Amino acid sequence: MPDLFPIINVKLFFMSTFRVDNPSELRYADFQKIVEASETGFSMLLKEVNCATKEWRDFVRGELGKGGGVLYKYISKEEKAYLNVDISKFCVSNFSPSEVLSQQAKNWSQLWAPPDPQLKQCCADSIYAFHMFAATFIGAYQYTIDMFRKGLKGYRRESPGVDIWRASELKALPDSCINLIARCIEMFVNSLSWPHQFHLFLNPCLGKKEGLRTIGLSPTIYAVWNRSQQETRNWELDNIAEYDTCKTGSSALFAAIIRNVDAEIAHWLGWYAGSIFNDFKKFFDSMNVNILLEEAIRTKYPPIEMCMAIQQHMAPRVIKIQQFVGKPIEVYNSIIAGCKQSVPMTRVYFLRGMPEVNKSGPKPDEVVGKSRLYVDDCAQSAKDPIASRFYNKLGNSFMKFNKLRLRLKLGLSDKGVVCCSDFPIAKLLQKEININWKVFYKISKDARDIGVSYTAGIKRPFL
């Protein structure tokens, strides 16, 4: 303890503890009292720290036994520090926000507005044709104050879009003001057109461990209207599919655990088990609008809701980094992730094709495993006591899935993983995927499956 004494402010310590005005008048006995008092205080502090450490350790162990959900809020901020964008890391020369914004706009415009005049014209024609199609469903649409309040209920968004409204501000408005907004929305929907002031999407950038990603900030009034509509939800409930694990009564954790349980049971039965985990390349940013609108008609998606939503998704987008804003970027490809209709749109995209992926052919070697979707996470899994049939199941499932994603004009990245209980089979699948589909998947003994470790039943997964 005496080694720490020089860093103590003696004057302040004595004035507050021993009420000594002039430290120069202290005697040796007084210094001994300081040391004794400091050692006593240090012992008490150390005892409290040890006690608190034990309590925290017991708490963590207890919560981990329950699943660990309560512990998420204790994750250190440093682990998510990468979400804050440091502009200086993206500057080529001087600290120039406009330079970074221009570079990001160039990068994202390759996805949102590919240099393809035919694609641009097809997108415009498809939107116009769908607008005319939706117009046949327009009646005397009515929008009430209660519907607007329903959309606001539980909505806590405080980041304004281009309409400069916050959810808390709208909640504070009296009914007389809400009534005016409701009348405007009623007019917008009956004319199938949002005002041109709404046709701009803010896209703030968030950091990733490698690069940046964007999130979409729609006009708040559009978001509230979206939340108040029941037709889209009714369509989803009427079109619940077995392959879709992002549905009522399911979750990402449940889908991953089911795959693990199937593989573990197969392993203890002495069967072969495994999965192929795919990673789409910029899934939402590469969705084809022409295909989306065609599938919306074929699957009987609510036309009015789709018509109003697609106007927002195709509105010009503005990149925002910190408080710096770039120039509008034209959009004729991709949809916005985070909109209330984004996930239903992904269901529209796959609804007709995925059942065919899970359907076996008439020949014995045309058997398939299970292909499952959780929004933009897709995995093929299979199990079988015979090695050749297991190989056919997993390989055929991947082949049929790839034919579908090529028709839907979606790309795959090289982040995919093959995880099998038998390494030679995994090696054969990796080679076939690389040769036939030009993507290189790595082989792993354990893979992250929507946040849960998948081990093909060989060992216990880590949650």
Place of tokens 């040890």: 50
SS3 string, 94-110, reads: CCCHHHHHHHHHHHHHH
Q: What SS3 state is found at 356?
A: helix
Predicted confidence (pLDDT) at residue 1 exceeds the cutoff of 80 = no
122 is a domain residue: yes
Residue 3 is predicted with a pLDDT of 40
Name which of 275, 321, 281 is nearest 452 in CA terms.
275
243 beta partners: none
Looking at the fold, whether 124 and 30 belong to one and the same domain comes out as: no
Looking at the fold, whether 16 and 42 belong to one and the same domain comes out as: yes
C-beta neighbour count of 128 within 10 angstroms: 10
Read off the pLDDT of residues 327-364 as tens digits, 9 standing for 90 and up: 999 999 999 988 999 999 999 999 999 999 999 989 98
Assigned token pair, 80: 């998510």
Looking at the fold, whether 209 and 136 belong to one and the same domain comes out as: yes
The rounded distance, in Å, linking the Cα atoms of 394 and 416 is 14
Looking at the fold, whether 294 and 389 belong to one and the same domain comes out as: no
| Cut 0.85: pTM above it | no
Residues with Cβ within 8 Å of 17's Cβ and at least 6 positions away in sequence, in order, are 37
Name which of 84, 342, 322, 96 is nearest 204 in CA terms.
322
State how far the alpha carbon of 189 is from the alpha carbons of 10, 348, 390, 418, in Å: 74, 22, 52, 47
Residue 2 is predicted with a pLDDT of 40
Q: What is the mean pLDDT of residues 206-227?
A: 85
Predicted confidence (pLDDT) at residue 160 exceeds the cutoff of 80 = yes
> For the chain, what is the mean pLDDT?
85
Looking at the fold, whether 357 and 450 belong to one and the same domain comes out as: yes
Q: How many domains does the chain have?
A: 3
Looking at the fold, whether 41 and 134 belong to one and the same domain comes out as: no
388 is a domain residue: yes
63 vs 140, more confident: 140
The rounded distance, in Å, linking the Cα atoms of 120 and 127 is 11
Residue 6 is predicted with a pLDDT of 39
Looking at the fold, whether 149 and 209 belong to one and the same domain comes out as: yes
Q: Using the 3D structure, point to which of 333, 361, 392 is the last residue of a domain.
A: 333
Residue 254 is predicted with a pLDDT of 87
The rounded distance, in Å, linking the Cα atoms of 166 and 164 is 7
- Where are any strands of DSSP class E within 330-416? 370-374, 377-384
Predicted confidence (pLDDT) at residue 129 exceeds the cutoff of 60 = yes
Residue 13 is predicted with a pLDDT of 47
370 beta partners: 381
The rounded distance, in Å, linking the Cα atoms of 222 and 241 is 29
Q: Using the 3D structure, point to which of 74, 97, 121 is the last residue of a domain.
A: 74
Looking at the fold, whether 67 and 91 belong to one and the same domain comes out as: no
384 beta partners: 272
127 is a domain residue: yes
Q: Using the 3D structure, point to which of 48, 74, 100 is the last residue of a domain.
A: 74
Read off the pLDDT of residues 368-404 as tens digits, 9 standing for 90 and up: 999 999 988 899 999 999 999 999 999 999 999 999 9
Looking at the fold, whether 158 and 13 belong to one and the same domain comes out as: no
**Percent of the chain clearing pLDDT 90 (strictly above):** 54
Predicted confidence (pLDDT) at residue 81 exceeds the cutoff of 60 = no
374 is a domain residue: yes
Helix-, strand-, coil-residue percentages of the chain, each rounded to 5: 55, 15, 35
313 is a domain residue: yes
12 vs 149, more confident: 149
Predicted confidence (pLDDT) at residue 458 exceeds the cutoff of 90 = no
DSSP character at residue 215: -
C-beta neighbour count of 372 within 10 angstroms: 23
Looking at the fold, whether 392 and 301 belong to one and the same domain comes out as: no
Give the pLDDT band of residue 91 (cuts 50, 70, 90). Answer: low
Predicted confidence (pLDDT) at residue 158 exceeds the cutoff of 70 = yes
SS3 string, 135-186, reads: HCCCCCCCCCHHHHHHHHCCCCCCCCCCCCCCHHHHHCCCHHHHHHHHHHHH
192 is a domain residue: yes
Of the candidate ranges 20-34, 191-205, 375-389, 396-410, the one whose mean pLDDT is the lowest: 20-34
> DSSP states of 269-325 as a string?
TT-EEEEEEEEBSSTGGG--HHHHHHHHHHTT--HHHHHHHHHHHTS-EEEEETTEE
Looking at the fold, whether 313 and 398 belong to one and the same domain comes out as: no
172 is a domain residue: yes
Looking at the fold, whether 162 and 187 belong to one and the same domain comes out as: yes
Residue 416 is predicted with a pLDDT of 92
Work out the burial of residue 258: count CB atoms within 10 Å of its CB; fewer than 13 is exposed, 13-18 middle, 19 or more buried.
middle
Residue 14 is predicted with a pLDDT of 45
80 is a domain residue: no
Predicted confidence (pLDDT) at residue 11 exceeds the cutoff of 50 = no
Of the candidate ranges 14-18, 127-131, 247-251, 260-264, the one whose mean pLDDT is the lowest: 14-18
Q: Print the domain residue range for 58.
A: 2-74
448 beta partners: 453
The rounded distance, in Å, linking the Cα atoms of 163 and 158 is 12
Name which of 300, 279, 373, 296 is nearest 335 in CA terms.
296
210 vs 102, more confident: 102
Q: What is the mean pLDDT of residues 14-27?
A: 51
Helices (DSSP H) in 353-414: which residue ranges? 354-357, 387-407
**Percent of the chain clearing pLDDT 70 (strictly above):** 83
Q: What is the mean pLDDT of residues 425-436?
A: 92
C-beta neighbour count of 275 within 10 angstroms: 27
